[in-house]
Structure 1
């Protein structure tokens, strides 16, 4: 079984409406193609380069993603500084000492960057609730607050409407 037959067998012979019948190869040693049921047109069957799959996890919130990108850039710069400091030390360059000092400072900043990601994520979860649990208490509290806000706005609109009418609809003017 050649490569083309293996591909047809693995696809089940159904690639975008083609029958999967093998056409005899051309005289010049050409590539075998697939034909429609009528046999009038010949076209090779193309397989997609990739298959779209749904994301397994939700996208990170914007503040958390921003902090993560910042931390990755800081860590990359720190690693580059450490390599340069090491190479300068091996070469005996005068730049070795300043690079080692800056690498130590960058390590402190990189640690701060990682902690910033962690803290930003915790703050986001605390403010917006954990969305992975279907019966999240934070979500229920948000729903209650929204309902209370809607009621307050409706009551304020009703009071304003009554005032605009000049008190019509009120039983007494107190």
Structure 2
């Protein structure tokens, strides 16, 4: 049983994931410092809480960046002027026209029943 090979993520997506992990680590360190400072009744609790708040904001920002960069990479993979997400998934010439009611009985395509594949 072989493991399915996954495609490598595009560079901009991998960079966004690295930034998100670093921001999450920064947030976790802020949480740890804030917890320890609260046990010790230290003045470091306020800056640690502010750093943790910035870290939460930054982590959410990075997660949103991951989603956007994945969508941009997926659009780039589909190609220009691609209207549907499945465009380019079939080999060219492999699709058969769908017979319409009132059309020829054998399902052959007439010039009137063909649907254009791309719009100008």
Question: What's the TM-score once normalised by structure 2's chain length?
Answer: 0.62
Structure 1 residue 56 displacement after superposition: 2.7
| Alignment correspondent of 1:116 | 65
Higher helix content, 1 or 2:
1
- In structure 2, runs of 5+ residues without a counterpart are 80-85, 93-120
> 1:113 and 1:78 mapped to 2: Cα distance?
12
1:61 shift after superposition:
1.1
SS at match of 1:57: coil
Aligned to 1:72: 21
User: Which protein has greater RCO, CA pairs closer than 8 Å, 6+ apart?
Assistant: 2
1:137 and 2:66 correspond: no
* Equivalent residues, number: 84
Would the aligned equivalents of 1:71 and 1:114 in 2 still touch at CA under 8 Å?
A: yes
Q: Tell me the TM-score normalized by structure 1.
A: 0.44
CA RMSD of aligned residues (A): 2.2
1:1-174 equivalences in 2 (<5 Å): 55-129=4-78, 136-138=86-88
Unmatched 5+ stretches in structure 1: 1-52, 131-135, 144-174
After superposition, give the CA deviation of every residue in 1:84-104 in whole Å (9 maximum; x if it has no partner): 111111110011111111111
